[in-house]
A and B are shown apart, each in its own frame.
Chain A
Amino acid sequence: MKKDKKNSFHTPEGYFESFNDRLMDRIHDEELKEAESRIPKTDGFVVPDGYLDGLTPTILSKSEEKEPKVISFKPNRNFYYGAAAVAALLVLFFGINWNPNTEPISFDNLANAEIEAYFEQTDLDMSSYEIAEVVSVTDIQLNDVLTDDLEDDILMDYLDENVDDIEELNLEATP
């Protein structure tokens, strides 16, 4: 609470601190009122005579849910059972005996892309030895699986450095 030293008047707590905000709010409100005064108070729309009185029955009639027509199955129940049984038998008969693909599906029917995708996405968990057993070196070009071209001299250098006995490689002479 602030007190004037020369007299006993005082102001409410925080009066001067909040004065600016209150003044700005007031100016803001005054401005708004001034602006509003230029805007007409009504907007000129009217409704046709009696429209609102007739509106309730219109809406009520539209919102009523129409009762669905009930069709009884009872008189023809045996007929439907019979028809369903015959249909089931036909489906079963044709399902067993009718096969449009006379040729059996073979490995050749698989698209290469599907096979590649299978190998890429499946963790085969095969060792290099197992892979070497399945895929003959003669069927595959090393450059197919390497990202960089493998020059012959690099290959020879590698073999020189890492292989003691060439017989260990178990290479077969290509015809």
Chain B
Amino acid sequence: MIAEETLVQELQQEASRAKAFEVLVNTYKERLYWHIRRIVLNHDDTDDVLQNTFIKVYRNIDQFKGDSKLYSWMYRIATNESLTFLKQRSKKMGISDQELKNRMVENLQADVYFEGDEIQLKLQKALSTLPDKQKLVFTMKYFQEMKYTDISEALETSVGALKTSYHLAVKKIETYLKEN
């Protein structure tokens, strides 16, 4: 895998940009796909948000200063794009954010790209009751197995606060699964 610094330099130079961008997309598309998918749940919506994320990365690569890892920067863009997407959708439909989340989970049962069983559906219902931050931390840690330091950069939150959020999320999910 190409070193991140080299990739950033190549992305910021006109001559090598196209080639480097292809490498970037190939390297991160899958990880970012799963990150977005766990927020917006539906495959087609994920596809839209993922493409928007990469286009935003391409257009703003000159503004990337290297203060954080490229990977964390892209995660940040993907997270913001996903949350903005959901906000816009709930506004368009004239319903609350929570109502939209409930509907999204209900739609999973009919989704051909969701093969979850009863317990996995319950897990999604439990996740939909969590505040955005707790849900993000939980999915990034539990399913994507990211390190706290990487999550900390991506979500711009301290490691201590992330650990607390994760602990709270696990407890709430466990309680939900027990009670339902």
Which A residues lie at the B interface, using CB under 8 A?
Answer: 28, 32, 35-36, 38-40, 42-48, 51-52, 55-56, 58-60, 62-64
Residues of B within 8 A of A44 (CB): 114-117, 120-121
Q: Are A63 and B55 in contact (CB under 8 A)?
A: yes
Residues of A within 8 A of B123 (CB): 39-40, 43
> In the bound complex, how far is the Cα of B109 from the Cα of A75, in angstroms?
65
Contacts A58-B51, A59-B55; A52 near B174 (Cβ below 8 A): no
Residues of A within 8 A of B37 (CB): 45
- Among A39, A59, A64, which residue has its beta carbon within 8 angstroms of that of B170? A39
B30 at the interface (CB under 8 A from A): yes
Residues of B within 8 A of A35 (CB): 170-171, 173-174
B71 at the interface (CB under 8 A from A): no
Interface residues on B, range: 35 or more
Residues of A within 8 A of B170 (CB): 32, 35-36, 39
Residues of A within 8 A of B26 (CB): 56
Nearest-CB distance from B45 to chain A (Å)?
12
7 further interface pairs, Cβ-Cβ under 8 Å (given A45-B114, A51-B47)? A35-B171, A40-B119, A43-B143, A46-B115, A52-B29, A59-B25, A63-B54
- Sample of 20 A–B contacts (CB below 8 Å): A35-B170, A38-B178, A40-B120, A43-B123, A44-B115, A44-B116, A45-B43, A45-B113, A45-B115, A46-B114, A47-B33, A47-B43, A47-B113, A48-B43, A51-B43, A59-B55, A60-B22, A62-B51, A63-B54, A63-B59
> In the bound complex, how far is the Cα of B123 from the Cα of A38, in angstroms?
10
Residues of B within 8 A of A32 (CB): 167, 170
* A interface, over-half SS: helix
**Binary interface profile of B, 80-122, with partner A (CB < 8 Å = 1, else 0)?**
0000000000000000000000000000000001111101110
Q: Are B115 and A60 in contact (CB under 8 A)?
A: no
Nearest-CB distance from A168 to chain B (Å)?
76
Q: Are B33 and A52 in contact (CB under 8 A)?
A: yes
Residues of A within 8 A of B59 (CB): 63
